Every structure is written in structure tokens, then in C-alpha cells.
Amino acid sequence: MVRHNNQLPTNLPQLQNLIKRDPESYKEEFLQQYQHYKSVLEVFHLTPNKFSKSLDELITFLAQVAHCYTDVLNTFPEELITLLQTHNTILDNEMRMTFCRALIQLRNKNLLEPTALLRLFFELLRCQDKILRQFLQTHIITDIKNVNAKNKNMKVNTALQNFMYSMLKDTNVRAAKMSIDIMVELYNKNVWNDGKTVNVIATGCFSKITKVAVASLKFFLGSDPDEKESDDSDSDDEPNIKDVIMANKVNKKTKKRDKQLKKAKQLLVKSKKKKSKAPQYNFSALHLIHDPQDFAEKLYKQLEKNNDRFEIKLMTLDVISRLIGLHTLFLLNFYPYLQRFLQPHQREVTKLLQFIAQASHELVPPETLEPVLKTLVNNFVTERNSADVMAIGLNAIREICSRCPLVMNEDLLRDLAQYKHYKDRSVMMAARSLISLFRQTAPELLHKKDRGRPTEATIALDAPKYGEINAKEYVPGAEILLNHEDKDDTVEIDSDLSDDDDEWIDIDSDGADDSDSDECNSGDEQADDKDKKLKNSKLSNLDRLRRSKVNRLKKLERKRNKIKAHEKSKVEKKEELTAEKKEAASLVSVDRILTDEDFKKIDMALVKQQVTFAKKGIKRLRDEASEKSELVKLGDIENIYKKRKHDKQARIESIKKGQEGRERFGYKDGRQNPLCSKTNREKKKTKAFQMMKHKIKTKVKRSFKDKQIALRNHLLKQKKMK
């Protein structure tokens, strides 16, 4: 068959289309192009630093039809890999990109193993081509994600993770930084979310390359990984949005300016999206570290040895504090290190206070944290500082005590509680929050007037001890299910407990009981009789004084014994009731399977225990400060109760917000028909001033001379009329 107008030797896209439809019919044309490729490739080896258009087209063509002739092109992928490994640093940028795209097409057709290709691409990250590096990074992440789409391919993952671990130690800054970015991205996409990946990233924290160490620390801090700095000179300077918009308005319109304006608007939208994203915190990554104690010690040792920037030191301190608080580690040198920075004028002092609170836990020896607490009180909670500094200091003390309550002693707490009457509202509220914390944890440390009225929850509290773990064999509050088999709303309060707790005895009272008054009266009568007898017998004054003193001591002893007996009976009743509750709760927990409805009832009962005996209308729910979280919020320390000063834009927005839905201020047109005409008086208000100034002049107060002239003219006019 003779083909007319055959342009296949020069028209590669047409030949590519025909081969995909019928490979066998066009094999001769393909072999012809393949021989041409080999000859062009030999010529290219002579000058690999120059761009070859014919080789570029042939490689793209062969990569498209490689699946049709796998037997002929079995060595084609290896040739491209060898070419890139040999001349990767001197190749032309476009040629290098063509080779990489061809290899990716072969990988998508399953003609190439992922391990070999990904290792090659990691080596190519050393190239001085930013576009290529970003392209390779995207492909590596996508390829590994596709490999693990259906099932985890542990063989490929293990090989690549080992290779990435070696890449972190590479001397090339860009390759090491790109490797850590890829691992972080794969973890965030839940592709490599195992412990090995986390521990490989953890080794990056000790890298000598600052960018790698910062990226690793940001991973554990949950910082936004999209904040990438330009790492070489070929990065394009992004145009300023305001300047581009103004230039597009004023200057002559061109295609270049239109493109810049479009790009600037895209950047603006992208920046707004970044701001609206909520920060993510990788607490699961901190949980997956194999040896957190060793990791924290190495980080602290590196912190003391290196002289890094202050921002890097802050990130390192943050990671160490999170590790200590999360895993309850012992790093006793960490607290004195932070203690020397606790000054009100210190830069980022609120973050340092946050780190101290994060590193506090119940197993930290109180004598280790006591100097830190005293430093906070001496440097922050003093009247020589501003009210904001005092409030921040009290908030920091509250956060530390919520995690390590044993660090606070009775005298210091009672001194700090005196600030509840301070003149500044922020200090007053901070002191009251500290008092409310200890009302829920250790009310016996507070002064009696600050403890508040006792509730069922606070009555059952025991003094905490160092190292004691309150492990329960039952579900707390499960005893109420015995009384709520037919009820769903509330929990009944034990009447015996309420009756006992209502019996208050004032120790300092002068004796309000009837029995005491009778005893006093009888004692007085006896004393009078004895005095008469003593007078009659003319005993000495010394004996009389001694006997009266003995009588007073006996009376005080009787009163003390009565108070002790009452307190003892009260403690015995409390222990008896507590034992009954524990027995009932353990019985319910063992004998039945609790449902979601049961747990809801238990939660309602526990909440009600917090508000029982409170004043009417005031419900004190469970204190959030006593429920420890993994992270100390910076806002809890910087929480200052006062109105902040707003800038002009914020004030204008608040004014406009207040005007919404309000009637328009000013003159109200009360006409029933808005189309009817207006009076001259109404029209006068809208006229120009030049039209009205001659009439306004008459309204000015006249002088005495003008009044005389006017009166004379008036009198003359009246005389003429007569």
C-alpha cells in the first residue's frame, strides 16, 4: 500500500497518535525514530550542557509510546537515569526537566520501580534549579501517596525512609531542607504517620543546618509549613499589591501590567486563606517519640552549647517544655535556666512564662519549682510594676499551681489572695481566679473567709501528697444510678449530709449554747458563795486569785473538749458517708454495664456536686483550670480584664456596627405624602448660603444705637400718620 503525503517521519505528534491506536502497523516508523534517537543521543553526549530540540522532542515521543513497545524500550528508562546521574549539574534546565517528565510518565505506566526513581529525584534536589526542585517535591509526595493509597507498602516506605535519613545528613542545604519538608508533608497528609517518620524528623532537630533544625522544631510545634523562605537567588520578587493596583489605574494599560495585577490579586486571596486557617498542633507526633527523656536532654544540651538566634531558642524551649509536661519527664536544670529570664522587661516574657507552666507537672519536686515561684512573685506581683505585669504574673502562678499544686505554701497563697481587693480590675480578677483554683484543689491553704461555702465536691477532697496517684476501682458518681433507675433529670442530695454540713460552730463565739450559759450561771453562783466563805474565813488574796484562774481553765477545757468531740463525730460521719458512696459506686460499676445515658446522669451528678450549697442564682460549674490540658494557652497568661484601646479603623467599625438597624439620626420628614410640596421654611434648610445670608443678618442682635435709630424712625412715621 502506497501512502500519499506521508509526513510521519517529521510529524511526531501524528505518529504518536497512530501508534497508540495500532502499534503493530506503525512499528517500522517507530524503529526509524528510535534509531534517530540513538544517533542524536550520541551527539548530545559530546555537549551535554547545550539544549537539543530534536532530542527533547524524541524523548517526549518515546515516553508517550513506551508501553506499546516494552521489548524494544526496555533499556530506555535506565539510559535516562544514567544520563541524569552523570550530567545532572551541567545539564540545561529545560533538558533536565524533559528527562524528569519522561521518567515520571514511565513511572505512571508502571515501567519503572518507585524506589529507583525516587532516589534519583532526591539526588536531583541538589541542582541549582528552583522550579525543578518544586516540581520534584510535588511528584515525590504524590507518588508516595499513590503507592500507599490502598495498602501501606512497608517495603517501599522503609527503603525511602532510610534514604531520607541519610539525606538529612547531606552537606547540601537545599537537599536536606527539601527532604525534611517532604517528610513533614507526608505526615500531615497521613501517608507516613508512623513512629519511624517522627523519629527521623526528630533527628533533624540536631542538624548543623539551621533551616533543617528550624523546620523540624516547627513540625513539633505545629507551625504553618507553608511559610517558606526563598533559599537561592533565582526566586522572583513578588510585586507589591497596592503599588500594582495604583500603577494599573494611572499608567497606560499593557498586558504585562494586567498580568501583574492578576497575580497580585491571587496573592491577596492566598494570604487571606492562610490567615483564616486554624493552627494545627502535632501532639500525636510528640507521643510517638521513642525516648522522650533522652530527646529532651539532648535538646537542652544543644540549647546550652549553641549560640543561636533568640527565636530558635524560643522554639527549642517550647519543644522541651511540651515534652516535659506531656511525658512527665525529669529535667531539673530546665527550671533554673528559665528562671534567670523571668523579668518584666524580657523580650517575649509571656512565652517564657508559658513554657514554665507547660513544663510543670505533679511529679516535679516542689523544692525545684519554689525558687521559680518566688522569682515570679518578687519580679512581677509587686506594686512597683504596672497592673498588667502584676496580672500576668498572677495568671502564670495560677497555671503553674494548676499542674503542680504542692509548690504553693499557705503563707504565700494568703498573701497573694489579698490582691482580690486591689484597685485595678485586671489584678483583682487574676487574684480571684487563683483563689477559685485552690477552692477546688486545696481549700485548706486558703484563709477561712476565702474558702467559700463548702460543697459536696470540696468536702470530699483530701490533701494531695507528692507522688500519690488517685487510682479508683470504680466510676466516680456511679452510686447515683441506684436512686435513678426511673428518673432521668437530676440527682437527689443525701439529706444526712446536708443536715450535718448545716451545723456550723463558731469557735470564737462567746458561748451561745444554753448548757454553757447554765454552767456559767451556776459557776457564778458558786463563785459568789465561795467568795463569801473566803471573806468570812479571811483567806488571803493569793488563794482567791488562784482559785478563780483554776475555774476559768476548767471552763475553757470543757469548751475545747466539746468542740473536739463535735469535729471528731463530723469526720467519722464524713468517712462513713464516703465509704458508703464508694461501696455503692463499686457495686454499680461491677454489676452492670454502663450505657451512654448512665454516663450522662453521672456527669450531671458530678456537676451538681460542684454547685450544691452555693448561693441562689449562682452556679459554679466544674473549674476548667483543674482539668489539665496538654498545652498551656498563651491567652490564659495574657488574659487581662480591661478594655483595650482600639485604633481608628476598629472604632469606625464598632460605630457602624452600632448604627445597624437604627433609625436615621437627624431631621425626620413627617409628611404623609412624600411627593407633595414643601413649605418655604423647609426649603430654606437646603438653599445655598449666598442665597440666605441677607436674611440671616437680621437675626443678629442689634446694638443700642441701631435700636435708637429704629425707635426714632418709628416715632416719626407715627407722627406723620396723624
pLDDT band for position 694 (50/70/90)? confident
pLDDT of residue 262: 76
Q: How many C-beta atoms lie closer than 10 Å to residue 479's C-beta?
A: 24
* Least confident range of 1-5, 657-661, 717-721: 1-5
pTM: 0.62
pLDDT of residue 311: 92
pLDDT of residue 242: 62
Spans of all domains in the chain: 242-267, 291-453, 478-505+514-613
Question: What average pLDDT does the segment 191-201 reach?
Answer: 87
pLDDT of residue 700: 66
pLDDT of residue 670: 74
Question: What average pLDDT does the segment 65-88 reach?
Answer: 87
pLDDT band for position 499 (50/70/90)? very low
CA dihedral 386, 652, 656, 687 (to 10 degrees): 140
pLDDT of residue 510: 42
Query: What is the rounded average pLDDT for all residues in the chain?
Result: 76
Number of residues in the chain = 722
Question: What average pLDDT does the segment 331-357 reach?
Answer: 92
Map 577-604 to HEC letters. HHHHHHHHHHHHHHHCCCCHHHHHHHHH
pLDDT of residue 517: 44
pLDDT of residue 418: 92
pLDDT band for position 484 (50/70/90)? low
Q: Exposed, middle or buried: residue 177 (CB in 10 Å: 0-12, 13-18, 19+)?
A: buried
pLDDT of residue 232: 41
Q: How many C-beta atoms lie closer than 10 Å to residue 259's C-beta?
A: 12
* Least confident range of 268-282, 386-400, 464-478: 268-282
Question: What average pLDDT does the segment 605-624 reach?
Answer: 48
Question: What average pLDDT does the segment 609-624 reach?
Answer: 44
Say yes or no to pLDDT of 87 above 70: yes
pLDDT band for position 712 (50/70/90)? very high
Say yes or no to pLDDT of 488 above 60: no
pLDDT of residue 343: 92
pLDDT of residue 567: 58
Question: What average pLDDT does the segment 253-265 reach?
Answer: 75
Q: Which of 115-119, 302-306, 620-624 has the highest mean pLDDT?
A: 302-306
Question: What average pLDDT does the segment 162-175 reach?
Answer: 82
436 or 525, higher pLDDT: 436
Say yes or no to pLDDT of 3 above 80: no
pLDDT band for position 554 (50/70/90)? confident
Q: Which of 59-63, 456-460, 615-619 has the highest mean pLDDT?
A: 59-63
Question: What average pLDDT does the segment 174-198 reach?
Answer: 87
Nine cell digits for residue 73: 524500550
pLDDT of residue 542: 60
Cβ neighbours for 405, distance < 8 A, ≥ 6 positions apart: 362, 438, 441, 442, 464
Inter-helix orientation angle 173-188/154-168, to 10°: 140
Say yes or no to pLDDT of 317 above 90: yes
Question: What average pLDDT does the segment 320-339 reach?
Answer: 92
pLDDT band for position 51 (50/70/90)? confident
Question: What average pLDDT does the segment 103-115 reach?
Answer: 86
- 8 Å CB contact between 111 and 72: no
Q: Which of 362-366, 461-465, 479-483, 673-677 has the highest mean pLDDT?
A: 362-366
Say yes or no to pLDDT of 512 above 70: no
